[in-house]
Amino acid sequence: MKKILEWTIAKVVDLPEEEQEAYSLQLLEDFESERGWDERFAKTQDLLGAMAAQARDESARGESLPYDPSDRPAR
pLDDT tens profile 15-35: 999 999 999 999 999 988 888
Angle at 54 between CA 51 and CA 59, to 5 degrees: 125
Element (H, E) at 65: none
pLDDT band at 1 (very low <50, low <70, confident <90, very high): low
pTM as predicted: 0.49
- Quote the crossing angle between the two packed helices 3-13 and 17-43, to the nearest 10°: 140
**Rounded mean pLDDT of 47-71?**
90
As a whole-number percent, the residues of the chain with pLDDT over 90 amount to: 55
The pLDDT of residue 56: 94
